Amino acid sequence: MKIVVPALTAAFIATLGAGSAAQAAIIDFSAVAECPSSCTGISYTGSTLQASTGLDLDGSKWLVVSVAGADMSGLSFGDSLSVAPTSFIYGGGGGPITLTTPIVKTWTGTDGAFTETLTTLDVITRGVNTIGLDFSGTVTGGVFSGAKATMDLSLTQAGGPGNVVSASLTNSASTVPEPATWVMMAVGFVGLGYAAVRRSAKDKAALAI
């Protein structure tokens, strides 16, 4: 009977692995900002982009430029995204900052409508004529329901103040369960299996008397 527990555990872990693979879903795409005739260009508050404390996207239109093979956002090259609000303040620090007004990104792809709500500005990375803003929150749409999501927004002003500011973003999300969750479930199953084997052994011993 001692081999039952390991065998059952192995079978259970194999099942978990198959289930995890089946449930795994990711979002992985990049987009760039384009300024249509209705906008005057991306601007910032401060003497330089590097030292800026706020940003105004000024109604820029976001277009998808790359989509990973396993991406399940329903997006394709050239599709558009909506980002609101188009301006926000992040101060002179490096994060993290809980956003007073969350940034909401929406899009509609082959899998229907998606809504991503970014509530935290985790890291601000400042470089010469550049700034990077890393946000986190959740996304819902398609197979995603409140899944953790991140958006890395990068802005560059080649040539320094007075020149055009270009912007791009990379978006990612995953529904893959945390490894610790599978471990806890497996440990619990082992415990139940062991208890069942012990009970069976005691019952047989009682019948033998």
- pLDDT of res. 203: 54
- pLDDT of res. 201: 53
- pLDDT of res. 93: 86
Give per-10-residue mean pLDDT for the chain (209 aa).
50 47 80 86 94 92 95 96 92 90 95 96 96 97 96 95 94 70 47 53 52
Question: Considering only CA atoms, which of 88, 160, 158, 82 is closest in space to residue 124?
Answer: 88
- pLDDT of res. 16: 46
109-134 core/surface letters (b: 16 or more CB in 10 A; e: else): beeeebebbbebbeebeeeebbbebb
Entry pTM = 0.73
- pLDDT of res. 60: 87
Helices H, strands E: what count in the chain? 2, 11
CA dist 134 and 174 (Å) reads 17
CA dist 156 and 3 (Å) reads 62
CA dist 100 and 122 (Å) reads 14
- pLDDT of res. 24: 80
